[in-house]
Amino acid sequence: MDLLTIYGQMGLSQAVYDRGEEVLERLTDRFRAIDQRAEVNQAKVLLAMQKNRIGANHFAATTGYGYDDDGRERLEKVYADVFHTQAALVRPQITCGTHALTVALSANLLPGDELLSPVGLPYDTLQEVIGIRPSPCSLAEYGVTYRQADLKPDGGFDYDAIRAAITPKTRLITIQRSKGYATRPSFSVQQIGELIAFCKEVKPDVKVMVDNCYGEFVDVIEPSDVGADMVVGSLIKNPGGGLAPIGGYICGTKECVDRCAYRLSAPGLGQEVGANLGILPAFYQGFFLAPTVVAGALKGAIFAANLYEGLGFRCVPNASEPRNDIIQAVELGSEAAMCAFCAGIQGAAPVDSFAAPVPGDMPGYDSQVIMAAGAFVQGSSIELSADGPIRPPYAVYFQGGLTWHHAKLGILLSLQKMVDKGLAVL
C-alpha cells in the first residue's frame, strides 16, 4: 500500500497533499539548518551524560523519602551541565510548567518584594499565581507586589518603561520566552540576553527568571548562557522528548535552586528527598531524544506557517522569520475555523483520533479554550497538538509532533478540514 492510499484512508485529498509538497520544495535549506543545530544540541546532551558517567544502575527506582537516589542526583547534574548552570532541580514532583514557575517565584520572593515583567502580561495561568487575577495562595496574598512594562507595538522591549518600572523593591524579573496565548513575537536567546544585561545594569542585585517553556533546544544556547539566574520549564514539553510522563525543571545558580528545593519539599530537606518512582529511564532517554524531537517540531511549525500564509492567513511567526520556540500561531478569524483546524489535528493523532475537540472551560483561563491532542502523555505539548482561547483574533496555537512526518500529516489534515468546510481555498 503506497503513502497516498494510506493518507486517503485518513481523509487526506490529493489536492491538499500536493499543495503541501509544493511548500516543502522551498524549505530544504531551512530544514538543513535545523538539523545542524539539532546535532550540536545532541552532542551537548551526550557529552553531559558521558561526563557524569551515567550507567544502568542510575535507572533504579526509589520510593518513600528517596534518600541517596544517585540516579536522581546524576540527572540533575546532567541538566546543569547542558544548561551551563551551577545547579538543577529536575523532579516528577513538579506537576507542570506552571508549578515549576510557581516554585521558582515563591522560593525567591519574600513579603514586601516586587516582581516585574518587562515583556507585558504573563501567560494566563501565571496571572493567578502572581495575583493579577485573584486566586487563593497567590503571591499577592503573601505580600508580593507586581509591576509590568508593556512591549512596544512592534513587539520590542520598551527600555525606558522598564527602567522606570525597576524600583528598590524589585527583587525578581520574569521573562516569558514564548508568546503564550498572544500574537506577539517569541524572543530569541540573544534578545533575552540583551534584556537581562539592561535590567542588571539598572539594578545589579536583581534576579532574573526565564520561563523557557517551548524554547529548549531551539537554539544552540539557552537563556542561562546569557545571564539568567534561573531557567524554568516542563518535562512534558521540549526537554522530556515525549517520553517523560510528568515533571519539571529549574536550572540556575546554586542559591536560587537551593531555595526552590526547599520550597518544593520543605525547609531543611531540600533536594535530599523526592523518590523517582521508577520513571528515571523516561527522564534520561527523553532528554537524550529531545534535540531530535524538537527539530521535528520546528520543521512542522515552519511548514505550517508557509502553508497557511500562502492561503492568506496571518501567521506568527510568519513564513520567513527565525524560530525562537516550537509554537506556530495561525489567526483563523472565527470559532468555526478554529474548530475545523483542531479537528484535523485530532484526526491525525495516534490516541483518541476519533474524538471531536470542542471549546470548554479550563482552569486558569478567562475564555473557553479548544484543545486538540491525542497524546501518549496527557497534555504533552511536545506531542502533536493545537489549542487556543475562543476570542479574537481566533488564533490557534499549533505545536509539537514527536516526528516530523507526524507533524506534517497533522498540518495537512488541519487544512483538509478547513477546505472541506469551505473555510480555506487552495
What's residue 38's pLDDT?
A: 98
CA distances from 400 to 53, 198, 285, 408 (A): 31, 33, 18, 10
Is pLDDT at 216 greater than 90 in this prediction? yes
Beta-bridge partners for 330: 315, 396
Domains annotated on the chain, with CATH: 3-42+288-420 (3.90.1150.60), 60-278 (3.40.640.10)
Query: Taking a C-beta distance cutoff of 8 angstroms, is the pair 276, 284 a contact?
Result: no
CB count within 10 Å of CB 255 equals 13
Q: pLDDT digits over 235-260, tens only?
A: 999 999 999 999 999 999 999 999 99
Query: What confidence score (pLDDT) does residue 1 get?
Result: 81
Task: For residues 388-404, give the mean pLDDT.
Answer: 95
Task: Give per-residue pLDDT as tens, 279-305.
Answer: 999 999 999 999 999 999 999 999 999
pLDDT tens column, 327-381: 999 999 999 999 999 999 999 999 999 999 999 998 767 789 999 999 999 999 9
Residue 125 pLDDT grade (very low, low, confident, very high; cuts 50, 70, 90): confident
Question: What is this structure's pTM?
Answer: 0.96
Q: Determine the pLDDT at residue 322.
A: 95
The enclosing H or E element of 190 equals helix 189-202
